[in-house]
A and B are shown apart, each in its own frame.
Chain A
Amino acid sequence: MSHNIKILPGATVCEDCTLEGDITIGGGTVIHPRVTIIAEGGPIIIAEYCIIEEYSTIIHKKSDQQENPPKPLFIGAHNVFEVGCKLESPCGHIGESNVFECRSYVGVDVKIGSGCVVGAACHLTAPQTLVDNTVIWGSEHHIREALEKQPSQLLQLDFLSKVMPNYHRLRKPNVHKRQSSTRQSQEPSPKP
């Protein structure tokens, strides 16, 4: 597996995490230690200002009908992956401002729009599409639609990017050219 990890300037990526495959991490994103991101089925692109907390796992799964070249898994801006959450996806697109709460699990055939919240310990395995601003919570998987998107965690991001370097070894940003970030800014809105 080729290890091609691009970290854009402004991103805070701890050294103590497993990154495998072709991964691009956008500026302003904070990746905590012990995070696992595996791009086995194709590249993973994480946009700006995401928070990926400890023990969360993002896997771009290999699928049988693999296209060539493989489609990337694009994760929009301002997403929050809380402690221990797991996201498995063969390809596709995850919108912005989603929150994946602690120990939540999002299975292969789940499409996620923008502003969605997957509640703590909610396991989404059945094929489904979460429209924008869907909130799922509780063991019974109650669903409701929020009025507006989840507020972004800019303060928290700010704090984390200041504090993290004091306590963790960080991976250095290795991309200084702007071209890949301009590519991301062209497609910030989720596609249905």
Chain B
Amino acid sequence: MALYEGIALIQEKQAVVLDLGTDYTKFGFTGEAAPRCIVRSEFWCAATRRYRRVHDYQTADELYDNLVHMLHLLYFRHVLVNPKERKVVVVESLLTPTLFRETLAKVLFTHYEVSGVVWADSPRLCALTLGTPVALIVSIGAKEAEVAAVVHSCVVLHAMESQPLGAHAIHAELRRLLDEDNDATLDLPDLVIEDIKVKTCFVGSRSRAQQWEAARAARDVQFACGERGRLRVSGATRERAAEVLFARDNELASLPDIVLQCIMRCPIDARRALAENVLVTGGTASLPGLRARLAQELRHLVTRPPYASRLHVREFKFHGAPAQDSAAAWLGGALLGAGEAGAARATPRDVYARARRLRDWRERLMADFSTVPEWDHMAAVLTCYVAYNNR
């Protein structure tokens, strides 16, 4: 009996990595270079006879049901493994609601009986794919753009910035512009809007945006859309849909602004390094021209008030993650879970069964480190990595 247990310990099952995004879910195995599947975060609900999004929930019970269905779909339709006695690396945003985390933990541990869960936050995982000690992660997702500074594998929490500047903001703007183009309230479904965005939209350069009426407008596109016939997508719409990310107002809440603000709030000795190690990631980052535009805006804005006097960084350098834009954080999870160090630091099932709750970075902010004996293991392992890096 003991012998068999020993074998079972050596042949630990390959863990799975789960990145449950608002729009798209990335799911696959650790140690692999790309997720096995990227599917929409929705499942077929037989009772209501329509697709139901995982993130549409009112109560914890509803969320629990949604997650059970979604994970069932992922495990038995896409990845085809038994969830039981297998570890999971969960890639999560630092701003994930507690209710979501706790419910996900409940689903994984009690419903699917996984043996352990590694809770890993996406900024550090993105930094893991680069291997650099300092990185500024600009992650533009479905709902929000998050800017987080990772300095020696610790997220500078008080410098973290987040604004609702993601794919949904672009979709809303595109919807408005399309209505203008076609002089009608089109009320297109989300999927069609996304399709139009993916196929026609781009981000123009800064010089074009400054004088976009003078610049020669981009070509119009006649977008065939099923039985609705053809929609006119004007050149201006194609170019301006994503302008919402760069639109500045008095609150200084545009994408380049929050990047600069994040750098500004970081320790002074890390700022230059952060600016020279920017990683732009997330699904929306693959919009053509977005990276270039962000770079131009950053270089311009940093010479203007209020940044010019307080931020003496003039050079910005950009990384490319060894993954497709939407899967960079997932790849970090796959790297983390593959090493023994990461997998060993999972929250085991029995620990969860006793405590029935998860640790969170917020409670560490509240409490003094010395009074919390078992502080986040993740931070420990990642700090170790960097300690070696710096030798």
Contacting residues, chain B, for A141 (C-beta < 8 A):
224-227
Chain A contact-residue range equals under 10
Q: What is the distance, in angstroms, from A118's C-beta to the closest C-beta of chain B?
A: 13
Instruction: State whether the Cβ of A128 lies closer than 8 Å to any Cβ in chain B.
Output: yes
B:218-241 near A, CB below 8 Å: 224-230
| Complex A-B, nearest 3 residue pairs according to Cβ-Cβ distance, in ascending order | A126-B229, A141-B226, A140-B226
Contacting residues, chain A, for B225 (C-beta < 8 A):
141
Contacting residues, chain B, for A143 (C-beta < 8 A):
224
A:110-167 near B, CB below 8 Å: 123, 125-128, 139-141, 143
- By a beta-carbon cutoff of 8 Å, the part of chain B in contact with chain A is 224-230
Q: How far is B224's CA from A126's CA once the two chains are assembled, in angstroms?
A: 10
18 A-B residue pairs with Cβ-Cβ distance under 8 Å, sorted by A, are: A123-B227, A125-B227, A125-B229, A126-B227, A126-B228, A126-B229, A126-B230, A127-B229, A128-B224, A128-B229, A128-B230, A139-B226, A140-B226, A141-B224, A141-B225, A141-B226, A141-B227, A143-B224
Q: What is the distance, in angstroms, from B198's C-beta to the closest C-beta of chain A?
A: 14
Which residue in chain B gives the minimum CB-CB distance to A138?
B226
Contacting residues, chain B, for A126 (C-beta < 8 A):
227-230
Contacting residues, chain B, for A127 (C-beta < 8 A):
229
Q: How far is B230's CA from A126's CA once the two chains are assembled, in angstroms?
A: 8
Contacting residues, chain B, for A123 (C-beta < 8 A):
227
Contacting residues, chain A, for B230 (C-beta < 8 A):
126, 128
Q: How far is B225's CA from A141's CA once the two chains are assembled, in angstroms?
A: 7
Q: How far is B228's CA from A140's CA once the two chains are assembled, in angstroms?
A: 10
Q: How far is B226's CA from A126's CA once the two chains are assembled, in angstroms?
A: 9
Q: How far is B222's CA from A128's CA once the two chains are assembled, in angstroms?
A: 11
Q: How far is B227's CA from A139's CA once the two chains are assembled, in angstroms?
A: 9
Contacting residues, chain B, for A140 (C-beta < 8 A):
226
Which residue in chain B gives the minimum CB-CB distance to A139?
B226
Q: How far is B226's CA from A139's CA once the two chains are assembled, in angstroms?
A: 7
Q: What is the distance, in angstroms, from B45's C-beta to the closest C-beta of chain A?
A: 20
Contacting residues, chain B, for A128 (C-beta < 8 A):
224, 229-230
Which residue in chain B gives the minimum CB-CB distance to A140?
B226
Could you list 8 further interchain pairs (A-B, Cβ under 8 angstroms) beyond the known A123-B227, A126-B228, A141-B225?
Answer: A126-B227, A126-B229, A128-B224, A128-B230, A139-B226, A140-B226, A141-B224, A143-B224
Q: How far is B226's CA from A125's CA once the two chains are assembled, in angstroms?
A: 10
Q: What is the distance, in angstroms, from A108's C-beta to the closest C-beta of chain B?
A: 13
Which residue in chain A gives the minimum CB-CB distance to B227?
A123
Q: What is the distance, in angstroms, from A149's C-beta to the closest C-beta of chain B?
A: 21
Q: What is the distance, in angstroms, from B350's C-beta to the closest C-beta of chain A?
A: 49
Interface digits, A88-128 against B, CB 8 Å rule (1 contact, 0 not)? 00000000000000000000000000000000000101111
Q: How far is B225's CA from A128's CA once the two chains are assembled, in angstroms?
A: 12
Contacting residues, chain B, for A125 (C-beta < 8 A):
227, 229
